[in-house]
Chains A and B, each alone.
Chain A
Amino acid sequence: GAVVSQHPSRVICKSGTSVKIECRSLDFQATTMFWYRQFPKQSLMLMATSNEGSKATYEQGVEKDKFLINHASLTLSTLTVTSAHPEDSSFYICSAGRGAYEQYFGPGTRLTVT
């Protein structure tokens, strides 16, 4: 089956610093990847669509300058949380698309901003 990995699985950073999260499709190429954020006891909220070789498309209310997305290859998308603050602490999950109706989710990255 299709496997998507995320790195790191957990990260703690200080307020004001930036942190990068990687999402990789291990055994297939993904022209599109998606980034979600999940707060405790809440659902997954789509943040942005990452397109290989072009700019990401952000959902309404998501600051593109704060959440930088780079999709440099067909197997890697990165999400950088810039100038992180405690309210950015969350569970970040990516997914990779293979075909119109196939999406495979990563295991998530727990970000804690102190």
Chain B
Amino acid sequence: DVVMTQSPLSLPVTLGQPASISCRSSQSLVYSNGITYLSWFQQRPGHSPRRLIYQVSDRDSGVPDRFSGGGSGTDFTLKISRVEAEDVGVYYCMQGTHWPQTFGQGTKVEIK
């Protein structure tokens, strides 16, 4: 199985400041069609996960533009340009290129 490794696992941030989460895969996530199936999910406390980003950098409908995704191959990043209080929660990366789909361990974002 493809192992997804996130860092850091805990991220205390100051409101209004940027935040960045890294996700590395144990093998390339480029599919045979050239598309990279790497997604990011947000899980607020007490809520279901919500997809924020798909195919590395495409934002889902309704996702604020302060969230951005980037990277290629095996190294990916989720960035929040200015953290707001509603961004508190756990963030997961997930690869959908190889079976089975696998998630990272999660990064807990909290306000300092």
- Specify whether A and B are partners: no
Interface residues of B, Cβ cutoff 8 Å to A:
none
Q: Interface of A with B (CB < 8 Å)? A: none
